[in-house]
Amino acid sequence: MNQSRLTAIAFGAALAAALTAPAGAQQRVSVYTAHTANIVERLIPEFEKATGIKADVVKAGSGDIINRVRAEAANPKCDVIWSIGAELLEANPDLLQPYQPKEADKIADAFKPTGAWLPYTGIVNVFVVNTRKLKPEEYPKTWTDLAQPRFKNLVSMADVEKSGSAYMQLNTFLAIYGDNDAGWAKFKTVFNNTAISTSSGAVPRFVNDGEAVVGITLEDNAYLYLKGGGPVAIVYPADGTSAIADGMALVKGAPNPAGGKAFIDWALSGPVQDLVVQELGRRPIRKDAKPLAALKPMEEIKLVKYDIKNAANKRKEYIDRWHALVQSR
CATH number for the domain including 145?
3.40.190.10
Q: Mark whether 131 and 116 lie in a shared domain.
A: no
Whether the per-residue pLDDT at 22 is higher than 80: the answer is no
Same domain, 156 and 206: yes
* Assigned domain for 284 exists: no
What is the tens place of the pLDDT at every residue in 143-165? 999 999 999 999 999 999 989 89
3-state SS class at 130: strand
DSSP 230: -
Residues contacting 255, CB < 8 A, separation 6+: 26, 30, 76, 77, 79
Bridge-based pairing state of the strands 54-59 and 28-33:
parallel
In a domain, 289, yes or no: no
Q: Residue 21 — pLDDT band, cuts 50, 70, 90?
A: very low
Give the mean model confidence (pLDDT) for residues 187-211. 95
Together in a domain, 92 and 211:
no
DSSP code of 292? P
Is 287 within a domain? no
Examine residue 48 and state whether it is found in any structural domain, yes or no: yes
The confidence band for 13, taking pLDDT boundaries of 50, 70 and 90, is very low
* Domain co-membership, 196 together with 315: yes
**Do 230 and 273 have their domain in common?**
no
Sequence-distant (≥ 6) Cβ neighbours of residue 226 within 8 angstroms:
232, 233, 234
Residues 70-125 have pLDDT tens digits of 999 999 999 999 999 888 999 899 999 999 999 999 998 888 877 899 999 999 99
**Shared-domain flag, residues 222 and 307:** yes
What average pLDDT does this structure show over 198-206? 91
Residue 220 domain-assigned (yes or no): yes
Kindly state whether residue 291 falls inside one of the protein's structural domains. Answer: no
How sure is the predictor about 199, in pLDDT bands with cuts at 50, 70 and 90? Answer: confident
Instruction: Please write the tens of the pLDDT for every residue from 37-48.
Output: 888 999 999 999
Work out whether the CA dihedral 14, 250, 99, 23 comes out positive or negative. negative
DSSP β-bridge partners for residue 32:
58, 81
CA–CA separation, 208 vs 233, rounded Å? 10
Residue 11 predicted with pLDDT over 80? no
| DSSP at 303 | B
Contact 34, 168 (CB under 8 A): no
**Same domain, yes or no, for 117 and 131?**
no
User: What's the number of domains the chain is made of?
Assistant: 2
pLDDT band of 25, cuts 50, 70, 90: very low
* 115 in Cβ contact with 89 (< 8 Å): yes
**What residues contact residue 54 under an 8 Å CB cut-off, 6+ apart?**
27, 28, 29, 48
Q: Does residue 48 sit in the same domain as residue 97? A: yes
CB 119 within 8 A of CB 245: yes
Spacing of C-alpha 91 from chain mean position: 17
Task: Tell me how far apart the alpha carbons of residues 208 and 185 are, in angstroms, rounded to a whole number.
Answer: 30
Verify that 252 and 303 share a domain, yes or no.
no
**Domain that includes residue 86, residue range:** 3-122+245-278
Residue 28 lies in a domain: yes
In a domain, 127, yes or no: yes
Residues 11 and 127 in one domain: no
Task: Report residue 286: phi and psi, to 5°.
Answer: -90, 145
Contact 57, 84 (CB under 8 A): no
**Are 243 and 181 in contact, with CB atoms under 8 Å apart?**
no
CB 74 within 8 A of CB 48: no
Contacts of 120 (CB under 8 A, 6+ apart): 82, 83, 245, 246, 247, 248, 267, 268, 285
Phi, psi for 38 (deg, rounded to 5): -65, -35
Contacts of 194 (CB under 8 A, 6+ apart): 146, 153, 155, 156, 157, 216
Residues 23 and 127 in one domain: no
As a whole number of angstroms, the distance between CA 148 and CA 154 comes to 11
Helix pair angle (164-177, 181-191), 10° resolution: 130
pLDDT digits (tens, 9 = 90+) for 124-146: 999 999 999 999 999 999 999 99
- Cα–Cα distance for residue pair 214/223, rounded to 1 Å: 14
Q: Do residues 235 and 151 both lie within one domain?
A: yes
